[in-house]
């Protein structure tokens, strides 16, 4: 392979590798489920764009190879070599892009597997927060737990006292009636 073709291939490989570093973070454990889905959607969008680019490069490779064949059949060896050189350059871009596509697919699968864990983590209920919300719904301010407990105890005593008074009244009534 000529020297200028190799340097062009190396340059393309380096640019794709630097682009690959942009998509190196596939850990979504610190995100909420909605943000994680949006993040995965961006990955999928990038994947689809790269797949379309790969298809375009495959068509370009085919076109340049047919041009090389045509040039050879017409006896234009110089044109055939240039067409083969262009085909090799595009093939190199495509192979790097295809490797990047495979990496993206793996990352997307890994992130999709993390989604159920994120959803289950947000569904868990903190009992302290729930208690505070119930107290606020009942008209108590946060920090009034002792007052609420005292009120519950006093209501229980009042119910017991009224039940005892009603029982005593019933006993007296029954005792007089006999």
Tens of pLDDT, residues 34-85: 888 899 999 999 999 999 999 999 999 999 999 999 999 999 999 999 999 9
CA distances from 1 to 6, 10, 84, 171 (A): 7, 13, 10, 113
Query: Do 112 and 143 share a structural domain?
Result: no
| 29 — pLDDT class (breaks 50, 70, 90) | confident
Tens of pLDDT, residues 163-174: 889 889 988 888
- Among 124, 149, 166, which residue terminates a domain? 124
Compute the distance between CA of residue 83 and CA of residue 104 in angstroms, rounded to an integer: 31
Contact, 115 vs 37, CB < 8 A? yes
Query: Do 25 and 53 share a structural domain?
Result: yes
Residue ranges making up the domain that contains 167: 129-177
68: left (phi over 0), alpha (psi -120 to 50) or beta: alpha
Query: Do 101 and 31 share a structural domain?
Result: yes
pLDDT score, position 90? 96
* Higher per-residue pLDDT: 81 or 21: 81
Query: Do 140 and 115 share a structural domain?
Result: no
Contact, 11 vs 75, CB < 8 A? no
Query: Do 137 and 94 share a structural domain?
Result: no
Query: Do 39 and 110 share a structural domain?
Result: yes
- Among 101, 124, 147, which residue terminates a domain? 124
Whose tokens are 């090389």? That residue is 68
pTM passes above 0.75: no
Compute the distance between CA of residue 35 and CA of residue 7 in angstroms, rounded to an integer: 41
Query: Do 72 and 16 share a structural domain?
Result: yes
Per DSSP, helices labelled H in the chain are 3-22, 33-73, 77-123, 127-137, 145-177
Query: Do 134 and 61 share a structural domain?
Result: no
Query: Do 77 and 20 share a structural domain?
Result: yes
Compute the distance between CA of residue 28 and CA of residue 117 in angstroms, rounded to an integer: 10
Query: Do 81 and 134 share a structural domain?
Result: no
Query: Do 57 and 95 share a structural domain?
Result: yes
Task: Kindly state the DSSP code that residue 141 receives in the 8-state scheme.
Answer: P
Tens of pLDDT, residues 133-165: 777 777 766 666 677 778 888 888 898 888 889
Query: Do 74 and 35 share a structural domain?
Result: yes
Number of domains in the chain: 2
CA distances from 45 to 25, 31, 108, 114, 139 (A): 16, 19, 11, 19, 49
């Amino acid at each position: 392979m000529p020297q200028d073709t190799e340097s062009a291939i190396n340059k393309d490989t380096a640019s794709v590798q630097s682009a690959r570093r942009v998509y190196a973070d596939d850990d979504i454990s610190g995100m909420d489920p909605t943000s994680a889905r949006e993040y995965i959607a961006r990955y999928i969008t990038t994947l689809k764009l790269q797949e379309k680019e790969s298809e375009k490069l495959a068509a370009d490779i085919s076109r340049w190879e047919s041009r090389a064949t045509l040039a050879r059949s017409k006896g234009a060896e110089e044109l055939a070599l240039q067409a083969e050189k262009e085909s090799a350059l595009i093939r190199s871009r495509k192979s790097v892009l295809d490797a990047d596509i495979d990496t993206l697919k793996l990352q997307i699968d890994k992130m999709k597997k993390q989604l159920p864990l994120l959803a289950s983590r947000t569904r868990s209920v903190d009992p302290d927060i729930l208690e505070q919300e119930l107290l606020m719904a009942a008209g108590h301010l946060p920090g009034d737990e002792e007052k609420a407990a005292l009120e519950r105890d006093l209501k229980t005593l009042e119910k017991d006292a009224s039940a005892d008074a009603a029982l005593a009244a019933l006993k007296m009534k029954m005792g007089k009636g006999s």
